[in-house]
Amino acid sequence: MNQRFSGIGMTSQRTRARMLERLRAQGISDEVVLTAMNDVPRHIFVDEALSSRAYEDISLPIGFGQTISQPYIVARMVELARGGRGIVKALEIGTGCGYQAAVLSRVAKEVYSVERIAPLIAKARKNLREMRIHNVKVKYADGTLGLAEFAPYDAIVMAAAATHIPPELLAQLAIGGRLVLPMGPDTQKLTVVERTSHGFQQTEVGEVKFVPLLGGVM
């Protein structure tokens, strides 16, 4: 692995190991998710000027009013999406810089990710290409509509806060699948929706803060 991926100083493997210790202390217990978090170098996905802060538990700006979520939130959402089971097909709403898609690529066989901001699509594709990640397909589209052409999904993860659950996403969830998303305009709650053979079960698992979910493309 070249120096850009392995990192030096505040982006080194030792710094990443400290991040894992913190995630464990914060309650992340899924070893598959922890391994994925360790495998994906977060500093690759942020601007070079911010790379020394890449492994702090903070969100960082990636341009266009968007952020890369803090490591704990990424790990928590992926852990909830997995629910201790294998994922064949996952859908991400809000690719951003591609970091969460990269983490998902380590826990799912196929990942489809939708982004509505064209310049971020280019950035994400470049980052994923550098990482030689081949099981993620990034689409330029309105994430509120999901991606029906590849449905159903075992897991859907939304990186933006919705005021209601888009019915298209519920329709694209496989039986036994899980949708993880922030809900609410002000006080946002991380919400898990599980599809059963009898319908949908919804659970709130804590407060979060995300940019709002917007429709359309730009």
Count of Cβ atoms closer than 10 Å to residue 141 Cβ = 16
Write the Ramachandran bin of 101: left for phi over 0, alpha for psi from -120 to 50, otherwise beta. Answer: alpha
Distance CA 107, CA 176 (A): 17
Q: Which pLDDT score is estimated for 158? A: 94
> According to the model, what pLDDT value does residue 204 have?
94
Q: Please write the tens of the pLDDT for every residue from 52-71.
A: 899 999 999 998 888 899 99
Task: Look at residue 48 in the predicted model and tell me its pLDDT.
Answer: 87
Give residue limits of the domains in the chain: 3-208
- Residue in the structure block whose two tokens are 């897991």: 155
Q: Reduced to 3 states, what is the DSSP secondary structure of residue 146?
A: coil
| CA end-to-end span of the chain | 36
Q: Determine the pLDDT at residue 186.
A: 80
**Bridge partners (DSSP) listed for residue 162:** 183
Q: In whole angstroms, how far apart are CA 64 and each of 92, 97, 218?
A: 19, 11, 10
Q: Report which of 195, 179, 189, 196 is spatially closest to residue 210, judged by C-alpha positions.
A: 189
Question: pTM for this structure?
Answer: 0.91
Parts of the chain with a pLDDT under 70: 1-11, 218
d(CA 48, CA 188): 30
Given a contact cutoff of 8 angstroms between Cβ atoms, the answer to whether 170 and 193 are in contact is yes
CA dihedral (104, 13, 206, 174) in degrees, to 10, reads 10
Q: Distance between CA 216 and CA 145 in Å, rounded?
A: 9
Q: Which of 51, 69, 105, 113 is catalytic?
A: 69
Q: Determine the residue type at 18.
A: R
pLDDT at 212: 76
Instruction: For the domain covering 3-208, report its CATH number.
Output: 3.40.50.150
In the residue annotation, 113 being an active-site residue is answered as no
Q: Which residues are paired to 204 by β-bridges?
A: 191
Helix, coil or strand: residue 73 = helix
Q: Pull the structure tokens for residue 153.
A: 């999904």
